[in-house]
Amino acid sequence: VIVRIAKNSGFCPGVKRAIRIALDAVPNHHNLVTLGPIIHNQQMVDRLAKSGIGTVDSVDDVESGQTVIIRSHGVTQDTYNRLREKGVMVVDATCPYVAKTHQYARELQSLGYRVLILGDAEHPEVIGMMSYVNGDAIVTNDPESLEIRNWHRIGIISQTTQPIEKLQSLVNKVIPLCGDLRVMNTICSATNIRQASTLQLAQESDLMIVVGGRNSSNTKMLARISEKWAETHQIEAAEEIVIDWFENKQKVGITAGASTPDWVILEVYNRIIEEYVGRDSKADNVEDIPGYKEE
Ligand code: SF4
């Protein structure tokens, strides 16, 4: 039996980086807190708590003497200012791709472009971008229903997780209506790369185990992609594995959604290995599982 993991599984590079920055800060700072949960995964939040990293919900809850970790989604300019006023230390783990959206928003506006943001107005990333143009931008997540008025110069940026097709349809809609259009493609490829890796592994496997929260939409998407090619089971934890699934299966693939911590993936892999291959082949890290690669 061959057991492999899809390249690019689990947390995206921005979240992995934020967790690493948070953990690296532990020896040098007392009283560390993240502003909001570092990722929407309670197990991960609990793990950080065990390492001494707490969570606060808002700047109002930050106390003097604390060091505040900014998570990968980034924050508004106002949040930075208020933290500065409070005199607390800040460890900034904003994903560099998110930071780019802030920079482009500001640049486009200062060059005289009307900023048009593709994204969900309520999403922290979009709220962050808005703060860099003083709230003066148009936000849409539905290019079809966008009403275009007399705009001459438009600068488009996108929330990093939007589908490229939506950005294309927004550009199609705007291009006949303005003379000067700039498009900054700020879509992050982490989601696409994860889906492509799952597709590739599913095509080479006869059984796929998809690990991730039942409510996680990106995990469900991975399962949908996978089930077209191989028998697929979505689980949240190693205990849910059913032995019968493996009957007559030679090539087993594992993949995981973007909010699935490494140790959950590792437990799934090691449980399968223990049952089918032998204890000696167990892995200590996700990076050691055959097939793993972060691009
Ligand atoms: S921009 Fe991409 S890598 Fe960064 S946090 Fe978002 S999904 Fe992850």
pLDDT tens for each residue of 162-198:
889 999 999 999 998 889 999 999 999 898 899 999 9
Structure confidence at residue 148 as a pLDDT band (50, 70, 90)? confident
Supply the residue whose CA is at minimum distance from atom 8 of ligand 1. 14
125 in active site: yes
Q: Whose CA is nearest to atom 4 of ligand 1?
A: 14
**Cα 128 to ligand 1 centroid, rounded to whole Å:** 14
Q: Which helix (H) or strand (E) holds 164?
A: helix 164-174
d(CA 151, CA 137): 12
Tell me, in angstroms, the distance from the centre of ligand 1 to residue 95's CA: 6
**Which tokens hold the place of 237?**
């934890």
How many whole angstroms separate alpha carbon 262 and alpha carbon 243? 23
pLDDT, residue 280, reads 80
**pTM for this structure?**
0.86
Residue 108 has pLDDT above 80, yes or no: yes
Share of the chain above pLDDT 90, in %: 81
Overall average pLDDT of the 138-167 stretch: 90
For residue 22, the model assigns a pLDDT of 97
pLDDT of residue 93: 97
DSSP state of 80: H
Instruction: Give the pLDDT confidence score for residue 217 in this predicted structure.
Output: 80
Tens digit of each residue's pLDDT (9 = 90 or more) over 20-69 = 999 999 999 989 999 999 988 888 999 999 999 999 999 999 999 999 99
Out of 125, 267, 294, 295, pick the active-site residue.
125
Phi, psi of 240 (to 5 degrees): -85, -5
pLDDT at 1: 87
Q: What is the pLDDT of residue 120?
A: 93
Q: What's the pLDDT band for 240 if we cut at 50, 70, 90?
A: very high
| Arithmetic mean of pLDDT, 109-135 | 95
Is the model's pLDDT at 222 over the cut of 90? yes
Task: Give the binding-site residues of ligand 1, using a 6 Å CB cut-off.
Answer: 12-15, 72, 95, 97-98, 160-161, 188, 190
**Nearest CA to 59 among 26, 83, 28, 91?**
83
What's residue 147's pLDDT? Answer: 85
* Nearest atom (ligand 1) to Cα of 98: 1
Q: What is the DSSP string of 243-272?
A: GGGGTT--EEEEEE-TT--HHHHHHHHHHH
Angle at 23 between CA 22 and CA 27, to 5 degrees: 110
> How distant, in Å, are the alpha carbons of 81, 194, 223 from that of 257?
34, 8, 9
Residue 117: partners with Cβ closer than 8 Å, 6 or more residues away: 105, 126, 129, 130, 137, 138, 139, 140, 156, 157, 158, 159
Show contacts of 220-227: CB within 8 Å, 24+ apart.
Answer: 221/195, 222/194, 222/195, 222/198, 222/255, 222/256, 222/257, 225/195, 225/198, 225/199, 226/198, 226/199, 226/201, 226/202, 226/253, 226/255, 227/202
> Percent of the chain scored above 70 by pLDDT?
100
Res 9: pLDDT: 94
pLDDT at 149 over 80: no
Band of pLDDT at residue 216, cut at 50, 70 and 90: confident
